[in-house]
Structure 1
Amino acid sequence: MTNYVIETHDLTKKYGSQVSVSHLNIHVKRGRIYGLLGRNGAGKTTTMRMLLGLTAPTSGEVSIFGKPFVGNEKKLLPRIGCLIESPGFYPNLTATENLKIFAELRGLKNPNYIKGALELVNLPYRDKKLFSQYSLGMKQRLAIALAVMHDPELLILDEPINGLDPIGIAEVRDFIRELCDARGKTILISSHILSEISLLADDVGIIDHGTLLEEESLKELEEKNEKYIHFCVSEAQKAAQIITRAFRSNNFRLADGNNLYLYDTDLPVASLTRAFVEAGIDVQEAHLCEDTLEDYFKRITGGEGIA
């Protein structure tokens, strides 16, 4: 049995001459959270729509649970829950009443499906509050309750924290993590919010202009982040000469006159600083730095970061 719940092979989507997704190969492992990270318009939603059969690919293949999606839709879709666009909830009905309508459409007879889904997202069962009176965070939690109501093995969630306030983001993040850790769900989540993906995902795929640039575990990505010692000194050129002669390293970069970036992070900061001071160099700043996921994103896309 394959370890990949989702696997794509050269998945491509074109709209006329415009390429929205290009030869995409992603691998979502069982029982993990995969974060598909990219700017708005990078191709994340188009990818998810193709995974669910909502948009037909121009070329390429999708495999889910080790089976080709095309031809096996009726068997595979009941095992998947999704949040791609905001569901059409009725504003004048309660959460329970809204979910009851969807449960009937799906052939879910037992009311425990509804009660359990609401409890999972910390919304009350048979509450009198109407959907129109819900906060944005409550509406998003109800949308996730709809996605998990039939207890799917796989969740595909497109920007589930988009538009939420910090408290709402934290609630949804904790809930998604619990679904994976405590209930064994496999989750594919897209986002343009780097900081949230770094807190939530086990594995990350970085997509830019429809092309997958990186696909690794979050741990592997963090190990790729540059580490360096940043010195702000009165004479950077003189400090560089000391590093070269006394510490036998050329792995540094000078910038903006007074800034020196040393990439040999095993060299002792205290000894370096002492050597600079003894040579008459004033040291205003000396500390170990590490790039963030946003810094890495900027570096591999060659552009601006994302929020």
Structure 2
Amino acid sequence: MKPLVFETRELTKKYGSAFALQHLNMTIEEGDIYGFVGENGAGKSTLMKVIGGLVHPTSGEVSLFGQREKQELIRARRQVGFLIETPSLYPHMNAEENLGFYCRIFGIQDKARIGEVLQTVALTDAGSKKTSQYSLGMRQRLGLAIALLNHPKFLVLDEPINGLDPVGIVDMRRILELLAHEQGVTILISSHILGELQLLATKYGFIHQGRLIKEVSAGELLQSAQSMITISTPHQAAAMSLLKEKLQLEDISINTAGAIEIPKAAADLEQLMTVLLQQGIPVEGFNLSAPNLEHYYMDLIGGKGQ
């Protein structure tokens, strides 16, 4: 087993009578890219604030790099970098000036570190451009550069790709892959863009209503989640009725895009197409989707976002 970077035991946070976190038992090992999945209000941001010392647990235990005591945790947090939603930047300053300010805040004497982190996040060409003129993607990358100033061993990222365009999302993914695979940084990342998270994470934690309902490796997810056959047709009801009757399919549904979905294990694609075409049902398209986080998470919580 690899060394533990972060661990909670029965971690609970209450606000009055409401639970933000309930008896959370979570482990992140060295080298993990841990994808944190859950709906709004599930408790993701609360946990990240607990890691940063911004929120204090009601009960339970938190461990960072094996340290549990209050003063030890304070010291351990010096090895953690944070990007919680939108970074705080001075709009009248350029990238180097903003990073210089944070170097003074963090007590970092080595000014060469500014150039290093700018190179890591691909902002060396920004020059004297004020951050007020930055795109959202550039602002997120500069926020990540700030989080990297202290050479963190553990990086905590809350929705770092929220609002980015496709190019910005790909840029952020490449940077995080470089940090994890070439610099050995352990990463905890939350995102609502689950398809992108699936390209990056090596392990997942699924949280619902403050409870961690499952932890699973990327390999285990691929083995346990089912691939789906999707069929697009203008005659959904007739097609579903026909497939149920002719092939005795029970596990058949309509997805959010309006296409028919059938688990790959339950049917043969050639059989499906033959039945539909023989009965004159027009097929506009079909697809085999890989196991995905959205299906897996919705199955875990019973298909309900409540």
- TM-score, structure 2 normalization: 0.83
Q: Does 1:143 align with 2:143?
A: yes
1:68 and 2:68 matched: yes
- 234 and 53 in structure 1: CA distance in 2 versus 1, 3 angstrom threshold: closer
User: For residues 69 and 174 of structure 2, what CA distance do their matches in structure 1 show?
Assistant: 30
Change (3 A) 1:290 1:170: closer
State the Cα distance separating 1:263 from its structure 2 match.
6.3
In structure 2, the partner of 1:249 is: none
| SS of residue paired to 2:178 | helix
Question: Aligned ranges for residues 223-238 of structure 1 at < 5 Å?
Answer: 223-227=223-227, 235-236=242-243
Structure 2: distance between partners of 1:197 and 1:291: 13
Show structure 1 runs of 5+ residues with no match: 242-251
Query: Which digits, 9 at most, give the CA deviation of each residue in 1:254-287, with x for residues without a partner?
Result: 658xx8957656x86658988x79xx87787797
Give the corresponding residue for 1:220. Answer: 220
Tell me the residue number matched to 1:120.
120
* Matched residue type, 1:188: L
SS at match of 2:118: helix
Structural mapping, 1:1-307, within 5 Å:
3-68=3-68, 70-124=70-124, 127-227=127-227, 235-236=242-243, 239-240=246-247, 252-253=249-250, 261=262, 264=265, 291-303=291-303
SS of 1:171's equivalent in the other structure is helix
1:180-228 superposed Cα distances (whole Å, 9 cap, x missing partner): 0111100111112211211111101111111111111122112221246
Aligned counterparts of 1:210 and 1:263: Cα–Cα separation in 2: 33
Q: Residues 118 and 253 of structure 1: is their aligned pair in 2 closer, same or farther, counting only changes over 3 Å?
A: same
Task: Give secondary structure in 1 for the equivalent of 2:49.
Answer: helix
Letter in 1 for 2:39: R
Q: TM-score, normalised by structure 1?
A: 0.83
Shift in alpha-carbon separation, 1:116–1:125, aligned structure 2, 3 A: farther
SS of corresponding position for 1:162: coil
Total equivalences in the alignment: 289
Measure, in 2, the Cα distance between the counterparts of 1:126 and 1:111: 18
288-297 or 107-116: which moved more?
288-297
C-alpha separation in 2, matches of 1:91 and 1:273: 57
CA–CA distance in 2 between the matches of 1:260 and 1:187? 34
For residues 37 and 260 of structure 1, the distance between their equivalents in structure 2, rounded to whole angstroms, comes to 23
SS in 2 for 1:164: coil
With 209-218 and 122-131 compared, the bigger mean Cα shift is at: 122-131
2:63 touches 2:73 (CA, 8 Å); kept in 1? no
Larger Rg belongs to: 1
- What is the match of residue 236 of structure 2? none
Give the structure 2 partner of residue 246 of structure 1: none
* 1:71 counterpart SS class: helix
What CA distance in whole angstroms lies between the structure 2 residues aligned with 1:54 and 1:119? 30
> What secondary structure is seen at the aligned counterpart in 2 of 1:26?
strand
Q: Unaligned stretches of 5+ in structure 2?
A: 232-238, 254-259
Q: Give the Å deviation of 1:105.
A: 2.0
Distance change in 2, residues 1:171/1:281 (3 Å): same
Aligned to 1:25, what secondary structure does the other structure show? strand
Amino acid at match of 2:246: A
CA, structure 1 residues 115+284, in 2 after alignment: closer, same or farther (shift >3 Å)?
same
CA shift for structure 1 position 53: 1.2
What secondary structure, in the 3-state scheme, does the structure 2 residue paired with 1:192 have? coil
The root-mean-square deviation of aligned C-alpha atoms, in Å, is 2.9
Find the aligned partners of 1:31 and 1:173 in 2 and give their Cα distance.
Answer: 16
Identity %: 40
- Give me the whole-angstrom Cα distance separating, in 2, the residues matched to 1:137 and 1:199: 19
